[in-house]
Amino acid sequence: MSESPVRLVQAHANHGAAWVNGDLRPVHFPRRIERPLPGDLVHIDDAGTLTAVVERRNLFGRGDGRGRFRPIAANLDRSVIVIASEPAPSRDLLHRYLAAALIRGIEPLIVLNKSDLPRPRQAPFTELQALGELGFEHVEARCLPEPDVAALQSRIGCGITLLAGQSGVGKSSLLNALVPDIEAQTGRLSRVTGKGTHTTTTATAHRHGDDAWLIDTPGVWEYGLWKMDPETLQRGFPEFSKHAAGCRFRDCRHRSEPGCAVVAAVESGALPGFRHQAWLRLLAEQERFGCQGVR
Ligand SMILES: Nc1nc2c(ncn2[C@@H]2O[C@H](COP(=O)(O)OP(=O)(O)OP(=O)(O)O)[C@@H](O)[C@H]2O)c(=O)[nH]1
Ligand SMILES: [Mg+2]
Ligand SMILES: [Zn+2]
């Protein structure tokens, strides 16, 4: 076993790449060890075979269409949720990404990319201020006509940052603007793994200065949550909790139960209605997973 663990940057079915003493090395995954993920700390032997995965701090992923959890990356400090006016996000995309990060113990940061384009007068763009008041911060960025990523750069100087968001919002463009030696890194990685460099097809961790990592992910059209119980889902709506303590029923789902303090807070204007609407839709979606049964 190698003396100190090394950071895994990319994982395919039975092989990947790790950052070893300032260079990228191929890693073989034997079948007896559960496949590691980008962001994992791993031990490898002299032949480059994985021997152990260090226990993870957290694990980020997405639900497949049937509500099963599909892991994407491990040991994240923050999830940068990239949205843009083009392609415009679907109704609950931002709420799902925020919930997923919070549920998994990862700090979310919303990035409004393509700030060179006019900001649409529709949700979620019109909700960003109210989200900020709830503690969900956002920063603006752009990659064209010339990059302006200073606000984002100042937030990601240490730890492991995941770039999440719909296909085409500009995650890889942001990565290119943020990491000065990105071309050298992707070129070396492609030689190590034998995979092409031009489209984002797999989650990949890139070294960002001395002390930080940026994980680019392949975009999705729709980001889905996985099957979970309502208590877990409510961790994705932390602004509800101080009100929920006052609900008449301890297992109140904040729908139409009598004595619901969350609904009362929405009616009095203490909680924004759009968050409650999103909660109701995500709760209904969970019940559909339940009916189908996750096979
Ligand atoms: N106008 C404008 N276009 C941008 C900006 N950033 C990126 N783009 C364009 O958006 C398109 C998609 O950019 P990518 O960086 O490939 O998007 P991505 O999120 O990595 O996409 P996937 O890898 O498919 O998930 C490209 O044509 C970029 O040139 C921006 O700030 N403004
Ligand atoms: Mg990309
Ligand atoms: Zn309630």
Range with the lowest mean pLDDT among 58-62, 65-69, 136-140?
65-69
pLDDT, residue 175, reads: 97
Pocket test for ligand 1, best of 143, 174, 220 (most atoms within 8 A of CB): 143
pLDDT, residue 198, reads: 62
CB-hemisphere CA count at 13 Å for 281? 14
Place of tokens 């995954």: 29
Ligand 1 within 6 A of CB of 112 = no
Residue 293 has pLDDT above 50, yes or no: no
Give the model confidence (pLDDT) of 273-288 as tens digits: 999 999 999 999 999 9
Phi/psi region, residue 135 (left: phi>0; alpha: psi -120 to 50; beta: rest), is: left
Taking a C-beta distance cutoff of 8 angstroms, is the pair 111, 139 a contact? yes
Which residue CA neighbors atom 7 of ligand 1 most closely?
A: 170
Question: How much of the chain, in percent, has pLDDT values that exceed 90?
Answer: 87
In this structure, what token pair is assigned to residue 23?
A: 């260079």
Upstream peptide bond of 124 is cis (omega within 30 degrees of 0): yes
- Whole-number Å distance between alpha carbons of 259 and 254: 9
CA–chain centroid gap for 288, Å, is 23
- Whole-number Å distance between alpha carbons of 18 and 50: 10
Q: CA angle, 282 as apex, 252 and 256 as ends, to 5°?
A: 35
Taking a C-beta distance cutoff of 8 angstroms, is the pair 8, 72 a contact? no
CA–chain centroid gap for 59, Å, is 10
Ligand 1 within 6 A of CB of 167 = yes
Give the model confidence (pLDDT) of 181-228 as tens digits: 999 888 899 888 887 666 678 999 999 988 899 999 998 889 999 999
Ligand 1 within 6 A of CB of 117 = yes
Instruction: Please tell me the pTM assigned to this model.
Output: 0.95
> What's the average model confidence in pLDDT over 100-124?
98
Continuous H helices in the chain: 93-103, 128-133, 150-153, 171-178, 182-193, 230-234, 241-244, 261-268, 273-292
In this structure, what token pair is assigned to residue 262?
A: 């969350």
Reported as a pLDDT band with limits 50, 70 and 90, residue 291 is low
Taking a C-beta distance cutoff of 8 angstroms, is the pair 24, 188 a contact? yes
- Whole-number Å distance between alpha carbons of 266 and 217: 35
> Kind and range of the H or E element at 165?
strand 159-165
> What's the average model confidence in pLDDT over 78-82?
98
- Whole-number Å distance between alpha carbons of 196 and 182: 14
Ligand 1 within 6 A of CB of 234 = no
> What's the average model confidence in pLDDT over 92-121?
98
pLDDT, residue 49, reads: 98
Crossing angle, helix 273-292 and helix 93-103, to 10 degrees? 80
Q: Which DSSP letter does residue 21 get? A: T
Whole-number average pLDDT of the chain: 94
Reported as a pLDDT band with limits 50, 70 and 90, residue 14 is very high
Continuous H helices in 159-223: 171-178, 182-193
Reported as a pLDDT band with limits 50, 70 and 90, residue 292 is low
Reported as a pLDDT band with limits 50, 70 and 90, residue 294 is very low
List phi, psi (to 5°) of 257: -65, 145
Residue 123 has pLDDT above 80, yes or no: yes
Name which of 180, 170, 160 is nearest 112 in CA terms. 170
pLDDT, residue 2, reads: 47
Ligand 1 within 6 A of CB of 166 = no
pLDDT, residue 201, reads: 83
Give the model confidence (pLDDT) of 22-63 as tens digits: 999 999 999 999 999 999 999 999 999 999 999 999 999 999
Taking a C-beta distance cutoff of 8 angstroms, is the pair 53, 182 a contact? no
> What's the average model confidence in pLDDT over 93-108?
98
